[in-house]
Amino acid sequence: MRYLLFPGRHLANTRFQEEYLKRVRRSGAFEEIIFAVTSANRQNSRYNPIPFHVRAIGVDRFGQSLRTALGVQCRILGIPNYPPSDVFAKRLLREIEEQTEHKLVLTPQNTAVLCSTPAVSAVYAKLGFQILPCEAAESEANRPRTPMQLVAHVADLGSAWAHDESLKRDLHPATYSLWNDFPEVPERIARLYHDPLLTQEGDLTATRNYATYGTAMSNAAAMDFKYADIKDALIEGKIVDEGCADAALLVRIARDFPDSDLMGIEITGEFLAQCQERQRRGEFGGAFVHFHQRNLMEEIFEPNSVDTTICNSTTHELWSYGNGAKTLLPYLERKFKQTRRGGRLVVRDVTGPENKVREVLLWCADTDGANADIFRVCASPAELAAHLNNLSTAARFKRFAQDFLAAERTAGQRGPEHEVLYREVQLDGRAYFSVRLKDAAEFLAKKDYTDNWESELHEEFTFWSYSEWKDALRQVGFSVLEYPEEPQKGSRNYLNPWIVENRYKGRVSLFRQTDAGLTPLEFPPTSVVLVGEKR
């Protein structure tokens, strides 16, 4: 064989890998090693915590030692992330061919594949490649730790990793020296592995479709509306967007505050990649913009160092994926601590109604879709979305009542008070749901998010009313700014007229039953803006 293909994320290289390659080389089995560094366009997750440029440096150092020890050539190629499938090996081989201007065509006749993961090895073996199993060739009793096991050990040790004798023994000196030269790498590994909110892939939830979610959240008209909500409340200087998603809001802030330092904080790897792509395209103009992947529940900035902190549609996620008020109040306390005197916290998010437990009658259209097979178990999010879109509004309410916070209630993370209880009522030949105002408002806010139904129904929107929001900000030390004559400058809550016209009209109505009959009720507010100032 002329070539040895060594595919993998190459988060770490080991002494065993070098010894194994020496054994194989003695048989004259290969002349050149092709390091295919997979997921080169991904980082900031437990699956892949190290950026490609750092991994490439580490592989090059490892390759230098192999050139000296084995007398072979080494080549490094970055391979973009491909989802697991039975054709990913073909795609990797095709990627190598394209990146080398068709000069490097790897076939079973000229290439062996080094791989210790049985499932991956099987895909290459099916194509006819000889497999060199590396660690998997050793007996279970003598099998060395894999690179991923070593990375996980680094995560457990944190800052003490460099003093661990087992890591010194098992890591190749190339990786050991790399992590000493880039000390932020083991720190990032520890942070990502210990973050309780992130999935393996570096996202907040495994059930969210980030393509449709991002499109809905960041389309130009919607983002212009959101920015107009908070623009007049911002203080120039150091402006932080905590939970910046794909940075669409920061693009607008950079236009109007070009001399401010703009900081984007985002927890999900997918959105962080989109932020960096905006930066590559120059969408922030000449403004200084920097992005961090951080859990918002941690302290991020020094005390008294931020002029404006923006929380746009993030506080409800902290409440929902954390532990309710026990998470959100300490978060607000940290925002107060990091804010300079005269600086501001600006929250824009969903909100709950006053008198949340009041019983109301919710009318939902039952002729705008199907009313049968409401609780069908669907095999995929796409199938669920299609099913929900086919249901009438009334049927969708019943599905909502079943699904809302169901997993959390089953796991004991939310109490029975979060169950949506309702009675079906017939009045003058018309059907209504008798339900708490809070639950009606929750349904109204969620009913059209069919593409992300599972993730949206893990979240709670109506936990605090406007008065409760203001009390929370005052409790942590902020002065709540309100300007009745110029409401856009300060705190307020409101009902979005676009939502009423496009999502409510003809589909839902609210009533209060009195002795005189049914009294129509206004829809509850959909949005809240809080401006808290540190004095």
Same domain, 41 and 145: yes
- Position 206 scores a pLDDT of 46
Alpha helices in 30-146 (DSSP H): 52-70, 88-99, 118-126
Claim to verify: residue 281 and residue 408 sit in the same structural domain: no
pLDDT value of position 196 = 58
Which ranges of the chain have pLDDT less than 50? 198, 200-210, 212-216
Question: Are 398 and 451 found together in one domain?
Answer: yes
162 and 122 fall within a common domain: yes
User: How many domains, in total, are found in the chain?
Assistant: 3
- Does residue 451 sit within a domain? yes
* Domain stop point among 147, 167, 194: 194
Helix axis angle, 220-230 to 210-218, nearest 10°: 60
User: How many degrees, rounded to 5, is the angle at CA 125 between CA 119 and CA 128?
Assistant: 160
Q: How far is CA 374 from CA 43, 369, 421, in A?
A: 40, 11, 17
Residues of the domain holding 43? 3-194
In a domain, 226, yes or no: no
Q: Given this model, what pLDDT does residue 209 score? A: 47
Give me the pLDDT at residue 82, please.
Answer: 80
Quick one: 413 and 479 in the same domain? no
Q: Is residue 513 part of a domain?
A: no
Contacts of residue 437, Cβ cutoff 8 Å, sequence gap at least 6 = 353, 355, 356, 357, 358, 359, 360, 510, 524
| Residues 346 and 401 grouped into a single domain | no
SS3 115: coil
Same domain for 144 and 26: yes
The answer to whether the predicted template modeling score (pTM) of the entire model surpasses 0.75 is no
Residue 381 shares a structural domain with residue 243: no
- The answer to whether residues 132 and 156 belong to one domain is yes
User: Are 306 and 370 part of one and the same domain?
Assistant: no
Note whether residue 53 is domain-resident. Answer: yes
C-alpha distances in angstroms, 519 versus 240, 509, 515? Answer: 45, 11, 10
Asked whether residue 299 falls in the same domain as residue 388, the answer is no
So what's the pLDDT on residue 295?
A: 80
Cα–Cα distances (Å) from 207 to 388, 455, 517, in that order, read 16, 5, 43
- Domain presence at residue 65: yes
Whether the CA torsion 49, 54, 55, 56 is positive or negative: it is positive
Task: Show which of 146, 167, 194 is a domain's final residue.
Answer: 194
